[in-house]
């Protein structure tokens, strides 16, 4: 971490930064602002007001996957975002590293200790306090960050809709099931990361694999398509984010779709039948440090609970599986940020309000926390009588915030993960698949230099 990235400084204003929502974005925003010397109040409605997906009242609770995805900062845009957040002293990355689990080249975490650690660290900060009273209206006065995420309360969502005039504020996101490891048949399943990727033996064996032959796969697809699904309420529509499609929706797009997605059989060899190539492979990833829980990778679903058990137990090795959590579906609220927000993530019609996290139209834990990091710094700078520049679009952070605050087409705006397609092209970089590694390294080298420069220029302790 850069020594100048964060530094405690005397409070220069009586103003308080209020943050609605204690998820990834709200937690990161609070940490960044508090470390700059600003008093922060986090307004979190849980556990007083429960949601479908959350289980606890902890801040930064992970409700879907337990993975922050790739940690490769040289070849992957998500890994680059990890790097930038670490350099900025981010609490989410610090606690993720502390509670990391073996996951090949990915960063997966033990979700409960992770959230507990974030909560404890934020609550022990002298500049941070937490209120558990829900906020259901848009505040008129003061400095606020709205980071309510995909499960914004209906009351607050209605208030946002009334202010913005937007009708389509929601799409749907699905949760993958979690299985008890001791109910998996290891005479059929085996441990191996795809292409044996990873620096350690733990990383190279981070995934549990269940193979299917063609007949089993076809029967599985038939059952998946026929299974009873969760019905939408009247007036609701299913506008899914393509990076988190339910498996049944993928199957509806074509019988081979899953074989080229989460069930692709490449890079793996079944030690039980090394000479037989699987037609499809279902992967599971460790979900806690003890290795007692595994989530089914890419298997978000809206099947009803009874149907889930029947269909998922058709997977070889999972015939007797017991579920710690079944999959589910929940409302995911986001605003049309390119129309509504300025470059500082402020609502144009109410500049005292900033938005951060998934509600801005970024998708994923890391992206949400990253937008919280920027919003927290922007708000703190403003309260301290200064203004921060936007990070260069050549950085992962800058590419994301530029996209949501004007780079995206407003008429077709949909949630987006960080990816190199959001970055300005590298001059003289060769295109094509065979040049990808060199090209991506050029992107990340350029980004790291630009991010380091921005952190130095954004020092709030400078005269």
Q: CA geometry: angle at 163 spanning 158 and 164, to 5°?
A: 95
Query: Distance between CA 210 and CA 278 in Å, rounded?
Result: 9
The response to whether 95 counts as a known ligand-binding position is no
| Sign of CA pseudo-dihedral 28, 348, 152, 241 | negative
Provide DSSP, 194-259.
Answer: GGG-SSSHHHHT-EEEEEE-HHHHHHHHHHHHHS-BPPPPTT------GGG--HHHHHHT-TTTGG
Q: β-pairing, 143-146 with 170-175?
A: unpaired
- Decide: pTM greater than 0.75: yes
Q: Which residue has the tokens 């799409």?
A: 171
The response to whether 21 counts as a known ligand-binding position is yes
- In degrees rounded to 5, what are phi and psi of residue 444? -75, -35
**Each residue's pLDDT expressed in tens, for the chain with a length of 463 residues:** 433 344 333 333 358 999 999 999 999 999 999 999 999 999 998 877 777 667 788 999 998 789 999 999 999 999 999 999 999 999 999 999 999 999 999 999 999 999 999 999 999 999 999 999 999 999 999 999 999 987 788 889 889 988 887 664 666 667 789 999 999 999 999 999 999 988 899 989 999 999 999 999 999 999 999 999 987 655 455 566 666 789 999 999 999 999 999 999 999 999 999 999 999 999 999 887 788 889 999 998 989 999 999 999 999 999 999 998 888 876 678 899 999 999 999 999 999 999 999 999 998 999 999 999 999 999 999 999 998 999 999 999 999 999 999 888 887 787 888 998 899 888 877 776 678 889 999 999 999 999 999 999 887 554 3
Cβ partners under 8 Å of residue 111, min gap 6: 61, 62, 66, 287, 288
The response to whether 25 counts as a known ligand-binding position is yes
The response to whether 23 counts as a known ligand-binding position is yes
Query: Distance between CA 288 and CA 169 in Å, rounded?
Result: 34
Around Cβ 273, how many Cβ atoms within 10 Å? 12
The response to whether 142 counts as a known ligand-binding position is no
Domains present along the chain, CATH in parentheses: 17-168+335-458 (3.50.50.60), 175-331 (2.40.30)
The response to whether 26 counts as a known ligand-binding position is yes
> What pLDDT score does 463 carry?
37
C-alpha to C-alpha distances, 289 to 59, 104, 112, 117, 184, nearest whole angstrom: 20, 15, 10, 15, 17
Considering all CA atoms of the chain, what is the largest pairwise distance in Å, rounded to the nearest integer?
71
Can you tell me whether residue 67 is helix, strand or coil?
A: strand
> What pLDDT score does 49 carry?
74
Query: Distance between CA 88 and CA 254 in Å, rounded?
Result: 43
> What pLDDT score does 310 carry?
97
The answer to whether residues 327 and 299 touch, using CB atoms and an 8 Å cutoff, is yes
The answer to whether residues 47 and 410 touch, using CB atoms and an 8 Å cutoff, is no
């Amino acid at each position: 971490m850069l020594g100048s990235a964060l530094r405690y400084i005397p409070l220069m204003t009586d103003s308080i930064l209020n943050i609605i929502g204690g998820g990834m974005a709200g937690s990161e925003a609070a940490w960044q602002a508090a470390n700059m010397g600003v008093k922060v109040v986090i307004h979190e409605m849980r556990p007083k007001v429960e949601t479908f997906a959350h289980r606890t009242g902890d801040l930064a609770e992970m409700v879907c996957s337990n993975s922050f995805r790739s940690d490769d900062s040289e070849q992957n845009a998500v890994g680059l975002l990890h790097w930038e957040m670490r350099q900025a002293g981010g609490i989410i990355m610090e606690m993720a590293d502390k509670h990391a689990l073996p996951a090949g080249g990915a960063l997966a975490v033990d979700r409960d200790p992770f959230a507990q650690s974030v909560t404890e660290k934020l609550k022990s900060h002298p500049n941070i306090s937490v209120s558990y009273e829900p906020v259901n209206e848009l505040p008129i006065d003061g400095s606020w960050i709205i980071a309510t995420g995909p499960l914004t309360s209906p009351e607050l969502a209605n208030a946002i809709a009334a202010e913005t005039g937007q009708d389509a504020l929601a799409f749907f996101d699905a949760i993958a099931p979690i299985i008890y490891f001791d109910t998996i048949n290891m005479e059929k399943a085996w441990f191996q990361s795809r292409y044996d990727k990873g620096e350690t033996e733990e990383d190279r064996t981070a995934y549990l694999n269940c193979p299917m032959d063609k007949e089993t796969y076809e029967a599985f697809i038939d059952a998946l398509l026929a299974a009873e699904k969760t019905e939408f309420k009247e007036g609701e529509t299913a506008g899914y984010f393509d990076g988190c499609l339910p498996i049944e929706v993928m199957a509806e797009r074509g019988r081979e779709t899953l074989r080229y997605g989460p069930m692709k059989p490449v890079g793996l060899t079944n030690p039980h039948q090394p000479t037989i190539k699987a037609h499809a492979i279902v992967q599971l990833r460790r979900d806690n440090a003890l290795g007692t829980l595994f989530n089914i990778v890419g298997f978000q679903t809206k099947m009803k609970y009874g149907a889930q058990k029947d269909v998922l137990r058709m997977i070889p090795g999972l015939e007797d599986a017991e579920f710690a959590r079944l999959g589910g579906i929940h409302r995911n609220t986001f605003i049309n940020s390119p129309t509504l927000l300025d470059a500082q993530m402020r609502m144009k019609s109410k500049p005292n309000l900033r938005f951060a996290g998934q509600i801005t139209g970024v998708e994923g834990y890391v992206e949400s926390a990253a937008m919280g990091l920027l919003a927290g710094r922007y708000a703190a700078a403003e309260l301290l009588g200064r203004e921060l520049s936007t990070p260069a679009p050549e950085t992962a952070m800058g590419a994301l915030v530029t996209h949501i605050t004007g780079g995206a087409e407003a008429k077709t705006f949909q949630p987006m993960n960080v990816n190199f397609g959001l970055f300005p092209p590298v001059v003289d970089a060769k295109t094509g698949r065979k040049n990808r590694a060199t090209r991506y390294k050029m992107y990340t080298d350029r980004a790291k230099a630009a991010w380091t420069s921005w952190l130095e220029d954004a020092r709030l302790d400078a005269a």
